[in-house]
Amino acid sequence: RMELSDKVVFITGGSRGIGAEVARQCAAKGANVFLAGLEPDLLAAVAAEIGADHAGWLATDVTDLAAVQAAVDACVERFGGIDFVLANAGIAPYGTVATIGKETFDLAMAVNVGAGAEVQRPLATVVIGGIISSTLLTLVVLPVFYRWVHTRFNRTPAHMKS
């Protein structure tokens, strides 16, 4: 089991959904969390729910390297470093590749694929633990996802049934 007490977790896409819930779960395990995302009102609400002593946030467009660098700098200034990163920012355009248009497709690729690499650039020199540790995913994200699936669809993933 991973110890998260006094660790710092940097989360992109932290304003809602999986990112916000991972932030809550990490904070409940004693971590400080820093949220980066596009919706300042939602980021502020999640941070307030967690508590000002253990959460920070900055409105951040993950496709803008300077904005990501500013968020990383703000996190390091606030909490003294970064131990783990959950690069969770993503968008899901409605439609198919044939119907969404080039601009929407390019944006989805920039956020969902390109930003994962872009987020790593400014973090490479400051992250203490590792970028998107599979252990973090196993301990925090997957249990949250399974609970969400169960509550949303009233079913348990097949591999969790006895």
pLDDT in tens, 102-121: 888 888 878 777 776 667 77
Among 37, 11, 44, CA closest to 132: 11
pLDDT at 47 over 90: yes
| pLDDT for the residue numbered 160 | 47
Averaged pLDDT, 149-155: 53
pTM score, two decimals? 0.76
Cβ–Cβ under 8 Å, residues 110 and 63: yes
Burial class (CB in 10 A: 0-12, 13-18, 19+), 134: exposed
Residues 6+ apart with CB under 8 A from 61: 38, 67
